[in-house]
Amino acid sequence: MAVRAVVLPAVGAPLKITEVDLPDPGPGQVRVRLAAAGVCHSDLSLSDGTMRVPVPAVLGHEGAGTVVAVGEGVTHVAPGSPVVLNWAPSCGSCHVCTLGEVWLCADALTGAADVYARTVDGTDLHPGLNVAAFAEETVVAASCVLPLPDGVPLTDAALLGCALLTGYGAVHHSARVQPGETVAVFGVGGVGLATLQSARVAGASRIIAVDVTPEKEELARGAGATDYVVASENTPREIRALTARQGVDVSIECVGRAVSIRAAWESTRRGGRTTVVGIGGKDQQVTFNALEIFHWGRTLSGCVYGNSDPARDVPILAEHVRAGRLDLSALVTERIALDGIPAAFENMLAGKGGRALVVF
């Protein structure tokens, strides 16, 4: 059966909407009809070569939908089950998995090298980041689908698959924000908005949002920001002025650029924590001198997928959504069709909006 999908023919090439022939699910596989897919900055990073992916590929890694069919041996979902896609399933047996750090699984992305479908003219296609969510339907490994808990709208549930897991995890698992602490969030895109909401849930006393454009202030305050700073070379000074000249307890960088990582570091108080969520290219070099590392006593840490375990964390997030503490719809600034994805990429490059959501 052919479905419409957005294909990346080659790194740096324009996206192409085409018909894709999907096979029936084999043993240990699941076929899913997508309800929605989020357009994440990581998809842009895959398309321009910042992150490597086998091509041609169908991108899209943040999605939710309904199971159409299951292959032999699949028992945790059935046709008709609402599910969230998990683009980074853990193997459970590699070294880091045995340490409980499943978000660093050495084998999480091995499925991205497989051929999962073909175009109608016979061209082999790879599933970008395992799940190929920029398509009306997809076929994935059973480990890439998680049952959607009750009470979460299926369309908005797509955001659970990346933006919210990453933002929530950055706050609760990586930075470990405590009630009463002050937090600065650099970058008010989809992940940044999820991070702001999660800092509010964590009980942060002051939440400072930082972005290059003043137009995002209302969006940031709606997500929980108490203050808004337009990014400039004076950003660390402005943040210290808002925090009794100390700097924030926690800075979370959601952009992936050297200048914002450095600004986040300088905005953190002595002994505080700086967490980097944004994915930057190899050309984004951040420098520190030995004396400042000693003097400031700050902790700088990376954060992969929010240091999350989706099987553990999706039910927790769903409970926050049901209770009204987290608002998935507030992360979405635009709802589009498949053919709107190239424009959504351009908006991300221009720093516009929060999360664009493809609704099928």
Q: Are residues 202 and 245 in the same domain?
A: yes
Residue 268 corresponds to which amino acid? T
pLDDT exceeds 90 at position 52? no
- Retrieve residue 40's tokens: 């994440």
Alpha-carbon span 158 to 191, nearest angstrom: 13
In a domain, 315, yes or no: no
* Environment class of 264 (CB within 10 Å of its CB; exposed 0-12, middle 13-18, buried 19+): buried
- Retrieve residue 210's tokens: 């930082």
Q: Are residues 149 and 205 in the same domain?
A: no
Q: Are residues 231 and 355 in the same domain?
A: no
Q: Place 35 in a pLDDT band, splitting at 50, 70 and 90.
A: very high
Token look-up 């970008």 returns 128
Quickly count: other Cβ atoms within 10 Å of residue 34's Cβ: 27
Q: How many Å is the maximal CA-CA distance in the chain?
A: 64
In a domain, 318, yes or no: no
Q: Are residues 334 and 236 in the same domain?
A: no
Query: Tell me: the pLDDT tens digits for 154-183?
Result: 999 999 999 999 999 999 999 999 999 999
In a domain, 310, yes or no: no
**Using an 8 Å Cβ cutoff, are 164 and 328 in contact?**
yes
Q: Are residues 285 and 332 in the same domain?
A: no
Considering the chain, what percentage of its residues have pLDDT values greater than 70? 100
In a domain, 314, yes or no: no
Q: Which of 29-38, 50-59, 127-136, 182-191 has the lowest mean pLDDT?
A: 50-59
Tell me the residue range of the domain where 8 lies. 2-161+327-359
Give pLDDT, residue 294.
97
Q: Are residues 172 and 116 in the same domain?
A: no
In a domain, 322, yes or no: no
Q: Are residues 9 and 128 in the same domain?
A: yes
Alpha-carbon span 115 to 37, nearest angstrom: 21
In a domain, 343, yes or no: yes
Q: Are residues 9 and 127 in the same domain?
A: yes
CATH code, 354: 3.90.180.10
Mean per-residue pLDDT for 178-198?
97
Token look-up 């699941």 returns 30
Query: Tell me: the pLDDT tens digits for 332-341?
Result: 999 999 999 9
Q: Place 147 in a pLDDT band, splitting at 50, 70 and 90.
A: very high
Give pLDDT, residue 15.
94
Q: Are residues 115 and 229 in the same domain?
A: no
- Retrieve residue 24's tokens: 């029936």
Question: Mean pLDDT for the chain?
Answer: 96
Give pLDDT, residue 51.
85
Q: Are residues 285 and 171 in the same domain?
A: yes
Quickly count: other Cβ atoms within 10 Å of residue 226's Cβ: 18
In a domain, 321, yes or no: no
pLDDT exceeds 80 at position 148? yes
**Using an 8 Å Cβ cutoff, are 162 and 42 in contact?**
yes
In a domain, 176, yes or no: yes
Query: Tell me: the pLDDT tens digits for 104-138?
Result: 999 999 999 999 999 989 999 999 999 999 999 99
CATH code, 207: 3.40.50.720
Q: Are residues 33 and 144 in the same domain?
A: yes
Query: Tell me: the pLDDT tens digits for 203-257?
Result: 999 999 999 999 999 999 999 999 999 999 999 999 999 999 999 999 999 999 9
pLDDT exceeds 80 at position 1? no
Q: Are residues 199 and 263 in the same domain?
A: yes
Domain count, the chain: 2
Mean per-residue pLDDT for 21-45?
95
Alpha-carbon span 157 to 327, nearest angstrom: 11
